[in-house]
Amino acid sequence: MLREASNSCALGMALRVRHSKTTVMLRVCQQFLWHDIEVTAALTLTSGHEAAHEAAQIWALAKARRDEDTAPASAEEVLPGVQRRLRVPGAELIVASQGGQAVGFTLFAPRAECLEIFYLAVAPDAWGRGVAAVLLASVEEFAHGISRPSVDLWVISDNDRAISVYQRTGFIDSGELHRDAASGRSERRMVKVLG
């Protein structure tokens, strides 16, 4: 279950609980509001199909823009990857919305020594609005709540835009590289040690 965020996050942004509701699985779903970015948290594969579909759509659009692909994949083509990560024990999906429209998401799960982010994406039309920073702050709050000392992720080595966002929010390059089995692209591990 996702814990309620405190009044401030690691980046100094004020987050407050807007309201909470119950999903089909009686899992608490919390929403936070920061400026006009609403952050909705708490999804599982069985209780969050709509949010998983929104996440898949955002991923397809962001990936196409990142890769300069004029024909993005459909949400249905991308959804199995999101669902696979949602099946990881403890996985959580957080969706950010502006004006009732999903504009970003992150999907992560606790590991033995850290919290690992599997996905973080912002819809291209919302790039540059601080959505990624709000999502990362939400992940950090979650990590603190479950006593994980760091947040880790793998990012495509030539994804300069994402690397810049991670660096601005305190992530450092660990120096670890690997080649993603599915895409064949080089990825680097980035880590943020939480205070």
Q: For 158-176, what is each residue's pLDDT tens digit?
A: 999 999 999 999 999 999 9
Tokens of 111: 């590991």
Assess contact for 31 and 17: CB atoms under 8 A: yes
Q: Radius of gyration (Cα) for the chain, nearest Å?
A: 16
Rounded to an integer, what distance in angstroms lies between the CA atom of residue 145 and that of residue 38? 20
Assess contact for 87 and 126: CB atoms under 8 A: no
Residues 6 or more apart whose Cβ sits within 8 Å of residue 128 = none
Assess contact for 107 and 90: CB atoms under 8 A: no
Q: What is the dihedral of CA 133, 93, 190, 84, to 10 degrees?
A: -150
Tokens of 12: 């100094």
Tokens of 3: 């814990």
Rounded to an integer, what distance in angstroms lies between the CA atom of residue 153 and that of residue 171? 9
**Which residues of the chain, if any, have pLDDT below 50?**
1-34, 41-47
Assess contact for 175 and 160: CB atoms under 8 A: no
Which of helix, strand or coil describes residue 50?
A: helix
Query: Of 3.40.630.30, 3.20.20.10, 3.40.190.80, 1.20.120.1630, which CATH number belongs to 16-108+119-148?
Result: 3.40.630.30
> How many CB atoms neighbour CB 116 within 10 A?
22
Nearest to 85 by CA among 134, 120, 133: 120
Q: What's the predicted TM-score (pTM) here? A: 0.78
Strands 150-156 and 186-193: antiparallel
Q: Looking at residue 195, what is its pLDDT?
A: 87
Annotated domain spans of the chain: 16-108+119-148
Which of helix, strand or coil describes residue 143?
A: helix
- CA-CA distances (angstroms) from residue 46 to 92, 93, 98, 144? 12, 12, 25, 26
